[in-house]
């Protein structure tokens, strides 16, 4: 039986349709959050059959959380949708791509191996043969190269700053930084050590498992969650830092929810959550520690705009903070894009399952970002980063970067 308690709080006002990126693309109530809440209720009441088509409807969700943020009645869409996806997934099976993804994300060694194979494919075969190949609507040549070595393997277990140690940071390196965006990892370490922190990268950390949690594959996610809680929970650390909005939302919010659903105690997840900070948020909060090391205003200020990842804004409540951090950087002219807070349409596997919707949403974002005249487009989420950069045209001069890379670029060279 499905527990659809959340649905009974829905007053059907429809305000969630306003900012739902999927509804705003489709203009069909069937895929709106309000409808999904009602459909879940009908399933729970035995008035609507469970079916593969229903699974398809529930796949039309980017998990951006805009609906929950807009809902004045406080409906929690996430757990309700997750439970329904889980029910339907158990019954009708997940697609082979999802099954493969689940398997890899829960088996660290095989994940690393497949990354190695992918790196070979990407760098050797593909460069020569398939310059115009597409996956869905994503141009392959716009995707980043894989890291030569996984980032975590390149890291010593402890990196000390020069001079006095202000505290110890446990760095949770998500899969994206570990396998693909190594340069973001270096920027994080560089900025944190410059600020005076010792950085520790626990070797046994594993994938945050958020994709599994979102698809309702909670049983599969269990081991990853418990492992991470164990290896990250250093009682002497100042903070646990993440550079990925999605991992951050898992550690700060979803672990507690998922463990609760699985019938585990949630206290450890809660105390972990209190210590987790996003890197941009952390720099903002301790700006005085980095300010002395930034180069003074260069002659040509760099124009930077921002895309606010949903998993940062909705799931972690980080709203307006990264923008302020960027504005405070000397040598940066921050120009907001008019839809900086709307979803980019990526949503993990959503962009593979519904590429046309993603492409339409990303296209609009790109138009607005380019209109700011910025040369850098900062966003602290690898999913958004990949999606936005993949949909840029070769002639577009704007480059997608992590906000921490913007900070790192401005560090004085004598550092």
Ligand X SMILES: Cc1cc2nc3c(=O)[nH]c(=O)nc-3n(C[C@H](O)[C@H](O)[C@H](O)COP(=O)(O)OP(=O)(O)OC[C@H]3O[C@@H](n4cnc5c(N)ncnc54)[C@H](O)[C@@H]3O)c2cc1C
> Using CB under 6 A, which of the segments 13-21, 36-44, 279-287, 401-409 binds ligand X?
13-21
- Give 37 or 206: the residue with its C-beta nearer to other proteins: 37
**With contact defined as beta carbons under 8 Å apart, do 199 and 169 qualify?**
yes
From 7-15, 123-131, 309-317, 329-337, give the range in contact with ligand X by CB under 6 A.
7-15
Q: Give the contact letters, 67-106, x = binds to other proteins (CB under 8 A), - = no.
A: ----xxxx--------------------------------
Provide the 8-state DSSP code for 294: B
Number of chain positions touching other proteins (CB under 8 A): 30
Q: Provide the minimum distance between the beta carbon of 11 and other proteins in the complex, in angstroms, as a whole number.
A: 3
Beta-carbon contacts of residue 394 (< 8 Å; ≥ 6 apart): none
Q: Which residues contact 307 (CB under 8 A, 6 or more apart)?
A: 337, 340, 344, 365, 369, 377, 378, 379, 384, 388
Q: Which of residues 14 and 331 has its CB atom nearest to ligand X in the complex?
A: 14
- What is the number of the residue whose Cβ is closest to ligand X? 13
Binding segment (CB under 6 A) for ligand X, from list 12-20, 24-32, 82-90, 91-99: 12-20
Least separation in angstroms between CB 342 and other proteins: 13
Q: Does 14 bind ligand X (CB under 6 A)?
A: yes
Taking alpha carbons only, the member of 353, 85, 333, 65 closest to residue 212 is 85
Q: For residues 290 and 196, what is the distance between their CA atoms, to the nearest angstrom?
A: 9
DSSP letters along 382-404, please?
HHHHHHHHHTS-TT---EEE-HH
Neighbours of 378 (CB within 10 A): 27
Segment interacting with ligand X (CB under 6 A) among 11-19, 25-33, 191-199, 227-235? 11-19
CB of 214 to other proteins, least distance (A): 21
Q: Which two tokens stand for residue 77?
A: 């869409």
Choose which of 5, 8, 13, 412 interacts with ligand X (CB under 6 A). Answer: 13
DSSP 119-137: HHIIIIIIHHH-TT-EETT
Cβ pair 379, 400 in contact under 8 A: yes
Minimum CB separation of residue 170 from ligand X in Å reads: 44
Least separation in angstroms between residue 74's CB and ligand X is 15
Q: Determine the Cα–Cα distance for residues 322 and 282; give it in Å rounded to an integer.
A: 10
Is 53 among the residues that bind other proteins (CB under 8 A)?
yes
163 binds, among other proteins, ligand X, none (CB under 5 to 8 A by kind): none
Residue 42 in the binding site for other proteins (CB under 8 A)? yes
CA distance 372 to 334: 9
Residue with tokens 């507690």: 256
- Name which of other proteins, ligand X, none residue 5 binds, using a CB cut-off of 5 to 8 Å depending on partner kind: none
Choosing from 3, 57, 327, 336, the residue that interacts with other proteins (CB under 8 A) is 57
* Pure H helices in 279-332: 279-285, 287-290, 310-313, 321-328
CA 53/CA 40 separation, integer angstroms = 13
Per partner kind, with CB cut-offs from 5 to 8 A, the member of other proteins, ligand X, none near residue 295 is none
| Binds other proteins (CB under 8 A): choice among 2, 4, 10, 170 | 10
Give the C-alpha separation, 139 to 131, whole Å. 9
Could you say which of other proteins, ligand X, none residue 205 binds, taking C-beta under 5 to 8 angstroms by partner kind?
A: none
Q: Which residues bind other proteins (CB under 8 A)?
A: 8-15, 17-18, 27-30, 32, 35, 38-39, 42, 47-49, 51, 53-54, 57, 71-74
Q: Which residues bind ligand X (CB under 6 A)?
A: 13-15
């Amino acid at each position: 039986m499905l527990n659809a308690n959340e649905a009974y709080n829905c007053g059907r006002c429809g305000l969630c349709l306003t900012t739902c990126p999927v509804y705003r693309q489709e203009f069909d109530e069937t895929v709106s959050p309000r409808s999904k809440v009602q459909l879940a209720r009908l399933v729970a009441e035995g008035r609507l059959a469970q079916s593969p088509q229903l699974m398809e409807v529930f796949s039309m969700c980017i998990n951006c959380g805009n609906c929950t943020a807009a809902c004045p009645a406080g409906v929690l869409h996430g757990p309700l949708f997750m439970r329904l996806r889980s029910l339907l997934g158990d019954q009708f099976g997940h697609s082979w791509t999802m099954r493969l993804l689940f398997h890899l994300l829960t088996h660290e060694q095989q994940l690393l191996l497949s990354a190695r194979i992918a790196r070979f494919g990407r760098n050797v075969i593909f460069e020569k043969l398939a310059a115009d190949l597409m996956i869905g609507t994503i141009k392959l040549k716009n995707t980043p190269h894989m890291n030569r070595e996984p980032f975590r393997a390149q890291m010593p277990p402890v990196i000390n700053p020069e001079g006095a140690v202000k505290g110890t940071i446990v760095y949770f390196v998500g899969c994206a930084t570990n396998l693909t965006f190594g340069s973001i990892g270096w920027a994080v370490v560089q900025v944190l050590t410059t600020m005076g922190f010792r950085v520790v990268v626990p070797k046994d950390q594993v994938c945050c498992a958020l994709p599994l949690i979102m698809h309702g594959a909670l049983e599969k996610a269990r081991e990853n969650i418990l492992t991470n809680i164990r290896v990250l929970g250093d009682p002497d650390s100042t903070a646990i830092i993440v550079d990925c909005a999605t991992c951050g939302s898992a550690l700060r919010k979803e672990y507690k929810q998922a463990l609760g659903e699985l019938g585990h105690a949630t206290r450890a997840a809660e105390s972990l959550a209190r210590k987790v900070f996003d890197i941009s948020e952390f720099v903002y909060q301790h700006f005085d520690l980095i300010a002395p090391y930034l180069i003074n205003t260069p002659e040509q200020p760099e124009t930077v705009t921002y895309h606010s990842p949903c998993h940062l804004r909705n799931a972690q409540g980080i709203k307006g903070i990264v923008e302020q951090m960027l504005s405070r950087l000397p040598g940066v002219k921050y120009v907001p894009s008019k839809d900086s807070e709307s979803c980019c349409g990526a949503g993990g596997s959503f962009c593979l399952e519904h590429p046309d919707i993603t492409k339409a949403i990303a296209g609009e974002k790109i138009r607005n970002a380019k209109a700011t005249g910025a040369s850098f487009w900062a966003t602290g989420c690898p999913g958004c980063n990949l999606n936005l950069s993949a949909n840029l045209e070769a002639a577009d001069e704007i480059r997608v970067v992590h906000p921490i890379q913007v900070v790192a670029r401005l560090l004085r060279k004598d550092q």
